[in-house]
């Protein structure tokens, strides 16, 4: 069996899909993953075939754009640059690597090319949804940008807000999308985020029900797997300098504004100030050194990429942007989490961590040294928070999540072959 997967976005998006791909390889399948060349080492490291989409420069330009992290401009840019720009290239890659009767498509929900290919060729397709935000609901509504989605807002109002948002989104993606569909003999679509983006066959929610429970108006084909946590294999170990720092003192607070964030000056200044105020050790994670303070105190160290699965169990708290990958790793490590959500799924993920009793959120405007220090002190000294952290950590079962995801993907081709026969 051959699996053709797409992994879009940052490391937090790519790692779970790479983890699934690696597990499928271990189960004896062929796996090909389409992604930006920035992630070639990750994908080849799990034993999958790497298929490049775009260039390294595309990824750099996107990460260097400060508007990417704006709550409104960011998602618009992601749709314009991430969906419309690469739609035809992605479709051509899928078409050239697809094997009728052998291949199962497994796609990031923002991969519109796989969805179009599925319609055109009746191919087996699973949508891979990383965070609950992608499932809109008028019941337990996600926290979504500037929209009013609180429980006190009437459901019909929330439904109308989704409709208005769809009108805006369609203006960006539908011209390119429907032009390609027309060339392929398919009818035009609209309100693509309402239902169309999901595979009609199988949608995998790559998170547990206690993080985001299935709602009455979610697609009926949704199945939840749990968090398929994956990063650098344990056999590689931590870098020597990281290992030495961890051994030299008490567990540090880990700070990261996200793997693709290149504009974290204020975030890191607040991190250093908070560590000084609390008398705590800190680890600053970023591959972009230019946004770090010019001088760091001895109790605060900077490192590039460090696998969370090995670092976080030896930390005292996690401070980050609210990406789903960081949230999941923090939950698995049993850490209190302080978040500075900016855009995309981050505000919704932060709200879910707060409801679980393991996190607090500060807006980018609030995220200053004194406020960060106070919030961290509260999280680190609150026994109820510590208890909830341990409670949810025991429920994170990455091995089971990966196995469940693979079993559902394997069953998709079997069902397709049964229907065709």
CA distance 332 to 221: 27
Selection from 86, 129, 20 nearest residue 33 by Cα: 20
Task: Please give the pLDDT value at position 233.
Answer: 65
Percent of the chain predicted with pLDDT > 90: 67
Residue 171: CA count within 13 A, CB half-sphere? 7
pLDDT at residue 419 greater than cutoff 60 = no
> Residue 81: what pLDDT?
67
- 310-335 confidence digits (pLDDT tens): 999 999 999 999 999 999 999 999 99
Sheet with 282-285, strands from edge to edge, namely 300-303, 282-285, 253-255, 317-320, 337-339, 359-361
23, 233 contact by CB (below 8 A): no
Mean pLDDT on 301-310 = 88
Residue 271 has a pLDDT of: 94
CB 231 within 8 A of CB 214: no
The reported pLDDT for the residue numbered 142 is 87
How far apart are alpha carbons 71 and 56 in whole angstroms? Answer: 25
Q: Is the pLDDT of residue 420 over 60?
A: no
In the chain, what are the domains?
2-229+398-420 (3.40.50.2000), 234-393 (3.40.50.2000)
Nearest by Cα to 256 from 219, 228, 204, 291: 291
- Determine the Cα angle at 20 with ends 390 and 97, to 5°: 160
pLDDT of residue 231: 81
> Could you give the CA distance from residue 50 to residue 41 in angstroms, rounded to a whole number?
9
Mean pLDDT on 189-206: 93
Whether 358 contacts 326, CB under 8 Å? no
Q: Binning pLDDT at 50, 70 and 90, where does residue 114 land?
A: very high
Mean pLDDT computed over 356-377: 95
Cα-based distances in Å from 171 to 76, 165, 175: 10, 10, 7
Q: Is the pLDDT of residue 116 over 80?
A: yes
Query: Would you tell me how many other CB atoms lie within 10 Å of the CB of residue 131?
Result: 26
The reported pLDDT for the residue numbered 84 is 73
Contact 327, 356 (CB under 8 A): no
- Rounded Cα–Cα distance for residues 140 and 212 (Å): 9
- Comparison of pLDDT for 409 and 74, the residue scoring more: 409
- Shortest CA distance to 266 belongs to which of 279, 254, 255? 255
Looking at every residue in the chain, the average pLDDT score rounds to: 90
Residue 208, Ramachandran bin (φ over 0: left; ψ between -120 and 50: alpha; else beta): beta
The 10s digit of each residue's pLDDT in 45-95 is 999 999 999 888 888 877 777 766 666 676 777 777 667 778 999 999 999
| Minimum mean pLDDT range among 60-69, 110-119, 412-421 | 412-421
Decide: 336 and 390 in contact? Cβ < 8 Å: no
Is the predicted pLDDT of residue 291 greater than 80, yes or no?
Answer: no
Q: If you average pLDDT over residues 325-346, what whole number do you get?
A: 93
pLDDT at 286: 86
- In order of 271, 285, 317, 380, the CA distances from 360 in angstroms are 15, 20, 12, 11
371-408 pLDDT, tens digit each: 999 999 999 999 999 999 999 999 999 999 999 999 99
* pLDDT computed for residue 198 by the predictor: 94
Tens-place pLDDT, residues 231-274: 876 556 788 899 999 999 999 999 998 766 667 789 999 999 99
Greater confidence (216 vs 145) lies with 216
How many Å apart are CA 250 and CA 272, to the nearest integer? 16
> What confidence category does residue 178 fall into, taking pLDDT thresholds of 50, 70 and 90?
very high
Q: What's the CA gap between 31 and 305, in Å, rounded?
A: 25
């Amino acid at each position: 069996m051959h699996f053709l997967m797409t992994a879009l976005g940052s490391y937090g998006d790519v790692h779970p899909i790479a983890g699934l791909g690696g597990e499928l390889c271990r189960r004896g399948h062929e796996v090909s993953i389409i992604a930006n060349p920035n992630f070639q080492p990750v994908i080849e490291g799990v034993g999958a075939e790497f298929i490049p989409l775009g260039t390294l420069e595309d990824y750099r330009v996107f990460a260097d754009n400060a508007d990417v992290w704006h709550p409104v401009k960011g998602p618009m840019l992601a749709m314009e640059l991430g969906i419309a720009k690469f739609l035809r290239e992605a479709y051509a890659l899928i078409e050239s690597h697809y094997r009728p009767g052998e291949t199962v498509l497994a796609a990031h929900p923002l991969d519109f090319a796989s969805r179009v290919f599925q319609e055109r060729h009746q191919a087996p397709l699973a949508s891979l949804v990383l965070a609950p935000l992608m499932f809109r609901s008028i019941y337990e509504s996600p926290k979504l940008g500037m929209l009013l989605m609180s429980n006190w807002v009437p459901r019909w109002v929330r439904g109308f807000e989704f409709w208005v948002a769809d009108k805006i989104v369609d203006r960006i993606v539908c011209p390119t999308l429907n032009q390609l569909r027309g060339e392929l003999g398919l009818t035009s679509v609209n309100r693509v985020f309402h239902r169309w983006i999901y595979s009609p066959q199988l949608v995998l929610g790559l998170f547990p029900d206690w993080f985001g429970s299935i709602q009455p108006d979610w697609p009926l084909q949704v199945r939840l797997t749990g968090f398929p946590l994956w990063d650098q294999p344990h056999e590689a170990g931590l870098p020597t300098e990281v290992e030495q720092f961890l051994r030299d003192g008490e567990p540090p607070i880990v700070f990261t504004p996200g793997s693709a964030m290149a504009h974290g000056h204020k975030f890191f200044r607040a991190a250093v100030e908070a560590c000084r105020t609390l008398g705590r050790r800190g680890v600053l994670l970023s591959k972009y050194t230019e946004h770090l303070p010019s001088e760091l105190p001895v109790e605060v160290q900077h490192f590039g990429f460090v696998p969370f699965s090995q670092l976080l169990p030896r930390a005292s708290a996690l401070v980050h942007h609210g990406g789903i990958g960081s949230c999941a790793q923090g939950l698995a490590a049993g850490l209190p989490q302080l978040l500075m959500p900016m855009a995309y799924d981050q505000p919704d993920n932060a709200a879910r961590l707060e409801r679980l009793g393991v996190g607090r959120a500060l807006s980018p405007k609030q995220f200053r040294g004194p406020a960060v220090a106070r919030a961290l002190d509260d999280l680190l000294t609150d026994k109820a928070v510590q208890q909830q952290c341990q409670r949810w950590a025991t429920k994170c079962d990455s091995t089971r999540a990966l196995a469940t995801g693979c079993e559902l993907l394997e069953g998709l081709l079997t069902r397709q072959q049964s229907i065709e026969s």
